[in-house]
Amino acid sequence: MKLRSLLVAGLALLAPTASSSQALENSTTTYYNPVLSGWHSDPSCTQVNGTFFCATSTFITFPGLPIYASRDLINWKLASHAWNRESQLPGLSRRTTGQQDGMYAPTLRYRDGVFLVICEYLLASATTGVVFRSRDPFRDAAWADPVVFAPDRIDPDLFWDDDDDGRTYAATQGVALQELDLATGALSQPPASLWNGTGGEWPEGPHLYARDGWRYLLIAEGGTALGHSVTMARAWNVTGPYEPCERNPVLTNRGTGEYFQTVGHADLFRDADGAWWGVALATRSGPAFETYPMGRETVLFPVTWDEGEWPVMQPVRGRMELDGLGRALPPPDRDGVPGDGPFNADPDVYDFDTEGANLPRNLIHWRVPRPDAFAITAAAGLRVVPSRNNLTGVPLSDATTPELTGQRGLSFVGRRQTDTLFVFSVDLTFRPREVGQEAGVTVFLTQVNHIDLGVALLPPQQSNDSNSPCQIGATSQLMVWFRAEGTGTPPAPRTVPVPADWLDGDKGGIRLQIEAANATHYLLSAMPAADPKAQVLVGVAPAALVSGGNGSFVGGLVGVYATCNGAGAGDECPEGGDAYFKRWRYTGKGQYISETTVV
C-alpha cells in the first residue's frame, strides 16, 4: 500500500493541474463534450418523433454498428446493434486480418417508418457494402440481414431526392454518386463525380441534404488527424455542378491549441422544433497528439441554418454555451428512452449471476467470438474459455496458423473506456493446470497495443514480492503477470507470485483492477477479493501505449481475457484453463474537457 501511495503521488505530478467542477444538471443552455464519450467515431444521427438516434463506426469489433437513442442529446442509451449476428455476414469476420478493417463510417437515416444503416465492411482484399433495416431500433433481432452491394470506395451516404421521384443515391469517398437499388444492391454505372473538396487529402465522409431547393454536400477533408476539417458545397441538382462555400472549412480545430483536435466527419440533423444540430468526431489530445486512449469520440455542436444560406457551425469546445443563440437543448429525459440497454455514461455493475443470460449490451469482442467461448453461469459467473492466441497472437497475418492470428476469435470481451479517470475491477476464479494458461484484465486498443494484468501458470521465478507463493508442482508457479506493448516504449514486464491464501474460493478469488489515476497513466493492481486492503500495485503503464499507432481509427477498451498462450492444437487449448469472472465494476471518476479542467 505504501508503494502504491508513493506511485500515485508521483503520477499526480505528471498530470495537468485540474480544476474540479460539478457536472451540469438540468441545464439546457450549457453542456459538456463529448456527448458520446469513449471510442465513438464517424457519428451519423437522425431524429424521429422527438427521439434522436446515432450510429458510429466499429471497425473490427462485434457486435458492430451501435445505435444510440436520446431524448435530450446528452443522455444516450445503447438501443441495439445493427450487426449483431454472425449469420448476417457469414464468414466475413474470420477473413479480417487488419486491425482496423471492418465497419467504416455508417450513415443512419429514417424513411417511411424504417431505420436504415448503410456502411461498408473493408478488407484488404475487397469491400462489401451493406444496408441494414429495422422498424424497431431497440431490438437487435429486428435488424434484418443486410442488402449487400459492391462499392468501389468507403464512407457511403444515403440520400433520397424527392424532387426527382424519390430516387435513392449513395455518395462515397471521392466524392462519387451512384443510384442504389435498395432491394437488390445494384449500383448505377459509371459513378458521377460530384466534388473533390478544397484540396485537402482524403475527401470523404459525404452527406447530402436537401434544403430550400439546393442540394448541400458536406464532406470531411485533411485526413482524420490534426488536419481534419469539414467543408461544404452546394448545387441546384444532386449531380452538380457544385459550388464551394466561401467560408470553407465550415468547421475545424486544426492549427489551434484546443484540447479537442481532429474535429471532422460531421453530420447535421434537426430537433423536433426544427433547430439544427451537428455531430462530429474529435480527439481529446491537444495539439501534441500523443495521449488519447479513448480515440475518436462524438461531439455535439449547434448549427444556425438560415433560409438560402450556408449553415453556421459553432466551434467544438469542452464546454458549450447556447446562450445568445436563441435555442436550448431539449429538457433532460432519461426515462423517456425505451429499451434495456445501458446509458453510455453510466457505470457497470455486473455480477453475472443469472444462468444463461446474455452478455450486457455494451460489452464487445475483437472480431466475432468462437461459439460457446463465453457463458454466464449462476454459480461461478462469466465463464471464458481460453483461446490459443493471446491478446497479441500473430496479428496482421493469415499465413499458416489462422487460429493464432485472432481471426477465429480472441477470448476477450470488454467495454469502451468512457472516462478519462476511472476504476475497473473484476473478481477472478482461476485454477490452471498447464503452464502458459492465463486469465486477466486488459486495456486493449489493438492486438499490438494493449496493457495486460494476468494470472498465469508460469515456470518458477525468483521474486521478493511474496513470502508465500502458490507452488503447483515442481515446475510451475502461479504468478500475477504484468506486460504491455504499443506505441512508444513499454514498461518492463513484471511477475509477482500469487500468495496461496488468495486462491481460497470461499473468499471470492483474486480481484484485478485497472485505474486511470490521471490522464496519462494506468495503475494495474491485484488483491484478494475478500481483502482489498491487501492490494498490490503490480505495474504502471503510460496511456500513450494505447493511443494511435496501429489503432489510430479505434479507441481503448477495458475488459477480461483468457488464453493458453499458443499451447494445444487447432482451435483448442489444453483442458483446465477456463476462467470465471464475477463482480465486474466500471466507475467513471472524471472527464477532462480541457488540459486543466476535470468534470
Residue of 507, 549, 541 lying closest to 527 (CA atoms): 507
Percentage of the chain modeled with pLDDT above 70: 92
Neighbours of 475 (CB within 10 A): 10
Residue positions annotated with a catalytic role = 42, 204
Please tell me the least confidently modeled range out of 30-39, 70-79, 297-306, 507-516. Answer: 507-516
* Mean predicted confidence (pLDDT) in 236-241: 96
| Cell triple for 400 | 499458416
* Mean predicted confidence (pLDDT) in 269-280: 97
**pLDDT, tens digit, for every residue of 96-110?**
989 999 999 999 999
**pLDDT, tens digit, for every residue of 190-202?**
999 999 999 999 9
Q: Across-strand partners of 456?
A: 438, 479
- Measured CA angle at 389 (ends 385, 390), to 5 deg: 85
Residue of 577, 554, 546 lying closest to 564 (CA atoms): 577
- Measured CA angle at 411 (ends 407, 413), to 5 deg: 110
Residue of 264, 244, 246, 245 lying closest to 254 (CA atoms): 264
**pLDDT, tens digit, for every residue of 282-308?**
999 999 999 999 999 999 999 999 999
Alpha helices, DSSP H, located in 192-296 = none
pTM for the model stands at 0.95
pLDDT at 463: 45
End-to-end CA distance of the chain: 28
* Mean predicted confidence (pLDDT) in 181-209: 96
**Average pLDDT score over the chain:** 92
pLDDT band at 466 (very low <50, low <70, confident <90, very high): very low
Q: How far apart are CA 206 and CA 151, in angstroms?
A: 14
pLDDT band at 232 (very low <50, low <70, confident <90, very high): very high
Q: Are 341 and 79 in contact (CB under 8 A)?
A: yes
| Cβ contacts of 565 within 8 Å, gap of 6 or more | 390, 436, 437, 438, 456
pLDDT of 400 strictly over 90: no
Residue of 388, 444, 447, 437 lying closest to 413 (CA atoms): 444
Percentage of the chain modeled with pLDDT above 90: 86
pLDDT at 475: 65
**pLDDT, tens digit, for every residue of 527-568?**
999 999 999 999 999 999 999 988 999 999 999 999 999 999
**pLDDT, tens digit, for every residue of 329-387?**
999 999 999 999 999 999 999 999 999 999 999 999 999 999 999 999 999 999 999 99
Q: For residues 237 and 472, which has the higher predicted lDDT (pLDDT)? A: 237
pLDDT at 397: 66
pLDDT at 164: 86
Beta strands at 597-598 and 19-20: parallel, antiparallel or unpaired: parallel
pLDDT band at 237 (very low <50, low <70, confident <90, very high): very high
pLDDT band at 65 (very low <50, low <70, confident <90, very high): very high
| Distances from the Cα of 69 to the Cα of 179, 251, 449, angstroms | 29, 25, 31
Q: Are 275 and 300 in contact (CB under 8 A)?
A: no
Q: Across-strand partners of 522?
A: 516, 541
pLDDT band at 9 (very low <50, low <70, confident <90, very high): very low
Beta strands at 61-62 and 365-366: parallel, antiparallel or unpaired: antiparallel
* Mean predicted confidence (pLDDT) in 228-242: 97
* Mean predicted confidence (pLDDT) in 266-291: 97
* Sheet of 167-172, strands arranged across: 157-161, 167-172, 176-179, 192-193
pLDDT at 467: 33
Mind giving me the DSSP string for 82-96? EE--GGGSTTTGGG-
pLDDT at 125: 82
pLDDT at 476: 82
Q: How far apart are CA 585 and CA 14, in angstroms?
A: 27
pLDDT at 402: 83
pLDDT band at 403 (very low <50, low <70, confident <90, very high): confident
pLDDT of 495 strictly over 90: yes
pLDDT at 399: 62
| Distances from the Cα of 238 to the Cα of 107, 134, 162, 311, 355, angstroms | 18, 27, 11, 18, 54
pLDDT band at 394 (very low <50, low <70, confident <90, very high): confident
* Mean predicted confidence (pLDDT) in 52-60: 98
Q: How far apart are CA 345 and CA 294, in angstroms?
A: 14
pLDDT band at 265 (very low <50, low <70, confident <90, very high): very high
334: left (phi > 0), else alpha (psi -120 to 50), else beta?
A: alpha
Neighbours of 575 (CB within 10 A): 11
206 upstream amide cis, omega within 30 of 0:
no
- C-alpha Rg value of the chain to the nearest Å: 24
| Distances from the Cα of 556 to the Cα of 96, 260, 407, 447, angstroms | 20, 17, 20, 12
3-state secondary structure of 142: helix
- Quickly tell me which residue has 433495416 as its cell: 133
| Cell triple for 514 | 485497472
